[in-house]
Structure 1
């Protein structure tokens, strides 16, 4: 099966250097023109450089996904340049956070707002553009293992991703009469494979972050985390051996799967969730695979980034 997105135009929100950039690159390598959205001009520029050095075509689509005028503006800009949008990937999200005992109301509200309002506004305006032009397109909403099961220390993120899952089912019903498909995609803690991140020393080792006041802290967190009544937030050892396949994969794994989900081969797939997580979600809590050295692991990764990072 030779997947091709030739002639299609994609819009990817939250095109930061890990998952968003990986998805944007994959869609490009499969033939789509890609509009890269983010609130960070630096992230957009890096994503476009990565696409272009691998032979693809991309454009900037800057804006805040929670502001309707911003969304309307960059959707119209993509339509003006390329005349259509066939694929929308709702990926923008606020990562990290704190647990329910320590999260701040403003931070909780912002995290939920980005996923809920961001996914809604982009689906609304891109969906209208597709329907008006008779385009039987694809909307992919990035979920998370945190949306399906409980994890300490990310209460706002977990709440928002749980909402994403039912948004997808409802939106799929709204858009089915137009031939527009809506699905979610669930990864979990992918290991970075972007050359820029690797050059900066980001390895993505799957271990719990330290407890503390940092916004990305896991577990209970808190300003100091040293109150006498505190309990450990979570097990802090290595998690990779707990994954049945021995790895949770990379953004390239995610990109391959999103490209298929966005292609015409998935023409009847709508209102559902595609899980690419090395078996993490399927695992019974009491089951542990063999020791890390005894796991066969998956077949080698089919890479997408064919050149070294250059500025």
Structure 2
């Protein structure tokens, strides 16, 4: 099966260097022109450079996904330059946070706002642009394993990702009469494979620290990005009654395939979901997590040394970042 996105235009929100950049590169390598959105010009520029050095075409679409006028502005800019939008990937989010005993109301509201309002506004205005032009397009909303199962230390992130899952089903019903498909995509803690991140020694999950005055975007892909340790959550209190928030000792293999994959794995899957091969798939969720969500909590399929693992990754980066 040859995935072909030639002639299509894609808009990616939150194009930071991990997941967002991986999806943007994949859609480009399969033939789409890509508009790269973020609040960070550095993230946008890096994403465009990566696309262009791999032979693709990209443009900047800067703006805050929670500001309706800015959303309309960058959507209009894409339409003015390329005349259409066929694919929207709602990826912008805030990764990290704290648990329910420690999260602040301000940070909880801010995290939920980026995903909830951001996904809504982009779906609304891109959906209108598709419907007006009779484009039977594809909208993909990035969910998370945290949206389907409980994780300590990230109460706001878990809350808003759970909301993403039903937003997709409702939006799919609204847009079905126009032939527009809406689906979610669930990754989990991918290992960075962007050459720029690898060269910088980043090997873990990325977290973007909030910037003063505007919502950070692009997580789980990250906008500035730093490696985190000890899980996704932030610091907790030191009261004498405190208990550990998360087990951090040795553990059996948690992922049946032995790896949660990389943003390139995610990119391949989103490209297929955005293609005409997936023409009847709407209102559903595509999971690429190495089998993590499917596993019975009490059992593992094999010891670590007995896992064969997946076939080698089909890379999308033709050249090193240098």
Q: Given the two structures, how large is their TM-score scaled by the length of structure 2?
A: 0.91
Aligned residue runs from structure 1 range 45-124, under 5 A: 45-124=45-124
Aligned residue runs from structure 1 range 129-208, under 5 A: 129-204=129-204
Contact kept? 1:9, 1:34, Cα under 8 Å: yes
Structure 2 residue 218 is the aligned partner of structure 1 residue 209: no
Match of 1:277 among 281, 286, 289: 289
Matches of 2:61 and 2:205 in 1, distance apart? 31
Check 1:64–1:238 CA distance in 2 against 1; reply closer, same or farther (3 A cut): farther
Greater relative CO, 1 or 2 (CA 8 Å, sep 6+): 2
Matches of 1:152 and 1:195 in 2, distance apart? 31
2:211 is matched with which residue? none
Contact kept? 2:9, 2:86, Cα under 8 Å: yes
2:212 is matched with which residue? none
2:217 is matched with which residue? none
For residue 36 of structure 1, report the CA deviation from its aligned partner.
0.1
Deviations 1:285-311 (A, max 9, x none): 10123222211000111000110003x
Match of 1:300 among 301, 306, 312: 312
For residue 240 of structure 1, report the CA deviation from its aligned partner.
8.1
Structure 2 residue 22 is the aligned partner of structure 1 residue 6: no
Structure 2 residue 255 is the aligned partner of structure 1 residue 227: no
For residue 145 of structure 1, report the CA deviation from its aligned partner.
0.4
Matches of 1:27 and 1:155 in 2, distance apart? 32
For residue 129 of structure 1, report the CA deviation from its aligned partner.
0.3
Deviations 1:106-154 (A, max 9, x none): 1000100000000000000000000000000000000000000000000
Which sections of structure 1, spanning at least 5 residues, go unmatched?
Answer: none
Check 1:146–1:175 CA distance in 2 against 1; reply closer, same or farther (3 A cut): same
Equivalenced residue count is 302
1:24 is matched with which residue? 24
Deviations 1:2-30 (A, max 9, x none): 00000000000000000000000000000
Instruction: State the Cα RMSD in Å.
Output: 1.6
Secondary structure (helix, strand or coil) at the match of 1:156 reads: helix
Matches of 1:233 and 1:24 in 2, distance apart? 35
Matches of 1:169 and 1:76 in 2, distance apart? 26
Matches of 1:263 and 1:160 in 2, distance apart? 27
Q: Given the two structures, how large is their TM-score scaled by the length of structure 1?
A: 0.94
Deviations 1:186-242 (A, max 9, x none): 00000000011111111127998348xxxx535xx32xx332111111111366821
Deviating more after overlay: 235-244 vs 247-256: 235-244
Matches of 2:176 and 2:250 in 1, distance apart? 43
Contact kept? 1:208, 1:235, Cα under 8 Å: no
Which sections of structure 2, spanning at least 5 residues, go unmatched?
Answer: 207-226
Match of 1:241 among 253, 262, 267: 253
